[in-house]
Amino acid sequence: SALKKIIQGIPKAELHLHIEGSFEPELMFKIAKRNNITLAYDSIASLKEAYKFNNLQEFLDLYYIGAQVLIHEQDFYDLTWAYLTKVHSQNVVHVEVFFDPQTHTDRGISFDVVFNGIFKALEKAKEELNISYQLIMSYLRHLSEEEAFKTLESSLPYKQYIHGVGLDSSEMGNPPSKFSKVFKASADEGYKLVAHAGEEGPSTYIWEALDLLKVVRIDHGNRCLDDEALVERLLKEKIALTLCPLSNVALKVIQKMEEHPVAKMLDKGLIATIHSDDPAYFGGYMNENYYETAKALNLNKSQLMQLAINAFEASWLSAARKEEHI
Ligand code: ADE
Ligand code: ZN
């Protein structure tokens, strides 16, 4: 269709992508087999059948189970390479990728196995696919701040290759304030800071992410529209929101795509951006997120281009590299 051609034609940046959430069932079964791991599902179809979620936690429970088949550096490499070739085909030219070290180190996989597999695929994509990247390690917020400190410690040998830290997993009951100290320590090590906030949690969590964690972007941030003073703050400080529309529908953050707040956010002048979050679980990569949002909200070409420009603006590319894309 004409709309699909427009979206394909726009060079895009993906700033909110969990590499473990790009684990397609086909690859999961393949890696499980070579690692002699039996999945709780007897076929790709029955696994896909389980991808019906009522909230964030129901998704996370499956996402952590899926990640358990990742054992060797090659597994992390194959996972990351599959994602990069997929988005390359969708005209994505820059990615800022989350990985969750604790999901793996808590199972006895060493930090360097996880890091090396992901890093080697990102470097290959930079060389061969001309995709620039930044890498963001995310602390799991359902675990303690002390555990996050251990992860920070483990990351230090690689800190010149890891550009930022994030905060993800179960939001309700795990406010940003729980991680103030480790975010301060992460900034002191030179990491840039982001956090998931206001996905399921209230707008007060977005305030905390700004005031206590000092993040430079908010991941999701859907709930900011509940609070006019917060919208003013986001406008004044030019804080971008990395929205994930198909994720929001899949996790019932909204009941249907027509309710997605991104159009309202653009109208208010907020730096709204669109990404895929966990594309293997939520039914689409970047193009599908742009397409379903555009269709449901009647976004025009200039709005779609604004979304793409916003993502480059909000990215961690140098000013000169941003210029090339805007
Ligand atoms: N981990 C992976 N995807 C996530 C999401 N959308 N929210 C919180 N944690 C996550
Ligand atoms: Zn996310």
Name the CA radius of gyration of the chain, rounded: 18
Task: Report residues whose beta carbon is within 6 angstroms of any ligand 1 atom.
Answer: 18, 21, 56, 63, 168-169, 196, 199, 247, 277-278
Domain ranges of the chain: 2-315
> How much distance in Å is there from the Cα of 326 to the middle of ligand 1?
29
Contact yes or no for 151/184 (Cβ under 8 A): no
Is 277 labeled as ligand-binding? yes
Identify the residue whose C-alpha is closest to ligand 1 atom 6.
277
Is 88 labeled as ligand-binding? no
Pocket test of ligand 1: the residue of 55, 56, 102, 248 to mutate, having most ligand atoms within 8 Å of its CB, is 56
Classify 2-315 by CATH class: alpha beta
- What is the 8-class DSSP label of residue 132? E
Give the residue among 260, 274, 264 at the shortest CA–CA distance from 308.
274
Task: Output the pTM of the full model.
Answer: 0.98
Q: How far apart are CA 92 and CA 13, in angstroms?
A: 6
Is 16 labeled as ligand-binding? yes
Is 94 labeled as ligand-binding? no
> How much distance in Å is there from the Cα of 232 to the middle of ligand 2?
24
Give the residue among 99, 129, 131, 128 at the shortest CA–CA distance from 116.
99
Q: Is the dihedral of CA 314, 318, 319, 322 positive or negative?
A: negative
Q: How far apart are CA 116 and CA 127, in angstroms?
A: 16
- What is the 8-class DSSP label of residue 251? T
Q: Which two tokens stand for residue 66?
A: 């899926």
Q: Is the dihedral of CA 182, 187, 193, 197 positive or negative?
A: positive
The ligand 1 atom nearest the CA atom of 199: 7
Q: Which two tokens stand for residue 228?
A: 């006019």
At a CB cut-off of 8 Å and minimum separation 6, what does 58 contact? none
pLDDT (tens digit, 0 to 9) for every residue of the chain, 326 residues total? 999 999 999 999 999 999 999 999 999 999 999 999 999 999 999 999 999 999 999 999 999 999 999 999 999 999 999 999 999 999 999 999 999 999 999 999 999 999 999 999 999 999 999 999 999 999 999 999 999 999 999 999 999 999 999 999 999 999 999 999 999 999 999 999 999 999 999 999 999 999 999 999 999 999 999 999 999 999 999 999 999 999 999 999 999 999 999 999 999 999 999 999 999 999 999 999 999 999 999 999 999 999 999 999 999 999 999 999 98
> How much distance in Å is there from the Cα of 323 to the middle of ligand 1?
30
